[in-house]
Structure 1
Amino acid sequence: MPQFRSILLGTLAASALCVTMVTPLAAQDDGVSAQTVVADVNGTEITMGHLILTRAKLPPQYQELPDPVLYTALLDQLVQQELLAQSLEGEAPGFVALALENEERNMIAADVMEQVVGDALTVAAIEARYEQDYASAGATPEYNASHILVETEEEALALAAEIEAGADFGALAKEHSTGPSGPNGGNLGWFGEGMMVKPFEDAVKTLEPGAVSGPIQTQFGWHLVQLNDSRDSQIPPLDDVRNQITDQIRNEAVAARIAELRESAVITRVEPDKIDASALSDYSLVDE
């Protein structure tokens, strides 16, 4: 979209550069509402609601300016925009109607999403999810292990013999392991059940801290595994996982509502193999 067709035609810093003849409106003694008229431009009213929505789109650094400063700057901006809009000769460009349709669709959808999330995101729902995913699960074992990954069983057996003879596991991992943890002495850090492929995890569970397994084959190659330590996981307090739980409930609620709407909707789509998708980059199609 051309630069001069941006919805916000000027910055707050430049908002006072346009000089026009202004007649003050009568003072508003009653309570202010979204319908309160704050300016009239050749018979077209600008309301407090217009200012509120314009302010909501400002970058954070402008949001912090004092209200009187913002009020004056935003009112100047909307008056200038209205003057320019009224000066248009002929029909409005085609992209204007399309942009308004997109904006309306987006705003209505966002409002519906907030309603859906508001209904789902209750204190009881958050506490129930915490109980389900964390509290009731109890402590689970976690392991800290290192490994050496090589391509063949023969290589693994040779390295196992060196370890048996007293060679340092970490040093051999740095020298021979083909896995990404090799430069770190093969250390994989802490992990819980289900985070490693089954043959690897099964081997780890049989080891005592400090012990090294025999060669283990997985789809990645052959491993020698050393268990460094083990512990029981700690159940996190609700406040530590509240944001995570909130995001899960929010996403699930919206996804469920969309799925429900899809089931009762009649939707036809043109897939990309049936249309020239490169048209997405052709702005001239809407600039008419």
Structure 2
Amino acid sequence: MSEKILAVAAGHEITEQELNNLIRNYPPEQQIYMSDPRAKQQVLDQLIAFHLFYKMAVEEGITESQEYQELVAKVKVELASHMAATSVVESIQVTEAEEKEYYEKHMEQFQEKAQVRARHILVDTRQQAESVSQELEQGLDFAEAAEKYSTCPSREKGGDLGYFTRGQMVPEFEKAAFEGEIGKLIGPVETQFGCHLILVEDKKEGSVKPFDQVQEQIHQQVIQTRQQAAYDEKVKELEAAYGVERKQGVID
């Protein structure tokens, strides 16, 4: 069965297979749009232009020029080198057992820090903080109080700071938040920014991410490490086999 011919440009028959091969070279996110006939037509137009310019290059002697021949020679060297290097690393595989072994030996890499989610109200003085605290104890909603009194930009979100880990807040604030009880008003807590009233809404204990969540990450890390090691070892072998002389003082 003959291939479907989509166009003939400067005597070259552009087949559906040639078009599909070009599309496969596109990034995956672009390939999604290639099911649209208009997108495929645009790629076909690019192919047509490609062959038309090649014909022009031949007729104008560009393909016989020294510049062209030098570029072709350079591309040949780069392509052959790339293919040889790829052949060294492409067969390297990592088993699931090896991935699990790496996981068990390097669990500290997959540690999730303890987190706290809190709201706060920031005011300038302890007296102001105590006054707001009294209103909260009398039933004023914490988020409403934050919008009304806080000087922190988080006031726009009712004082919500979201989740944070140790090291993200000033020490005094961090200590109060991590040691405080969920749902219980904390403060006033004085820091370099002023006085805070804190309401802890949730806590997440530190934990290690499950293996299935990090397996792909481990796979990539281990295989890249092994590929680099194989590449480096092969370079040493090739240096011994073919010889390398590094000139001193050439690079400034």
TM-score band w.r.t. shorter chain: 0.5 to 0.7
* Residue 241 of structure 1, CA deviation: 2.8
Number of matched pairs: 221
Give deviations 1:140-193, integer Å, cap 9, x for gaps: 644332112334545434433433444322211122223343222222333444
CA distance in 1, matches of 2:54, 2:142: 74
Asked if residue 146 in structure 1 is aligned to residue 119 in structure 2, the reply is yes
* Residue 210 of structure 1, CA deviation: 1.7
TM-score, reference length from structure 1:
0.50
Asked if residue 171 in structure 1 is aligned to residue 147 in structure 2, the reply is no
Asked if residue 229 in structure 1 is aligned to residue 202 in structure 2, the reply is yes
CA distance in 2, matches of 1:228, 1:105: 59
Give deviations 1:202-228, integer Å, cap 9, x for gaps: 111221222222233445544221122
Query: Which shows bigger deviation, 220-229 or 238-247?
Result: 238-247
CA distance in 2, matches of 1:220, 1:254: 51
Structure 1 unmatched runs, 5+: 1-14, 23-47, 270-288
CA distance in 2, matches of 1:95, 1:162: 82
Q: 1:164 to 1:55 in 2, by over 3 A?
A: closer
Q: What amino acid is aligned across from residue 16 of structure 1 in structure 2? A: A
Q: What residue number does 1:86 align with? A: 58
CA distance in 2, matches of 1:221, 1:112: 60
Which of 186, 203, 214 is the equivalent residue of 1:213? 186
* Residue 229 of structure 1, CA deviation: 3.1
CA distance in 2, matches of 1:161, 1:17: 84
Q: What residue number does 1:18 align with? A: 9
Q: 1:140 to 1:109 in 2, by over 3 A?
A: same
TM-score, reference length from structure 2:
0.55
Contact 2:24 2:31 in 1 (8 A): no
Structure 2 unmatched runs, 5+: 1-5, 236-245
CA distance in 2, matches of 1:186, 1:109: 56
Q: 1:162 to 1:233 in 2, by over 3 A?
A: same
Cα RMSD after superposing both structures: 5.5
Q: What amino acid is aligned across from residue 149 of structure 2 in structure 1? A: H
**What is the correspondence of 1:81-230 to structure 2 with a 5 Å cutoff?**
81-89=53-61, 123=96, 126-131=99-104, 132-133=106-107, 141-218=114-191, 220-230=193-203
Q: 1:255 to 1:60 in 2, by over 3 A?
A: same
Give deviations 1:106-131, integer Å, cap 9, x for gaps: 99679969967985966455324533
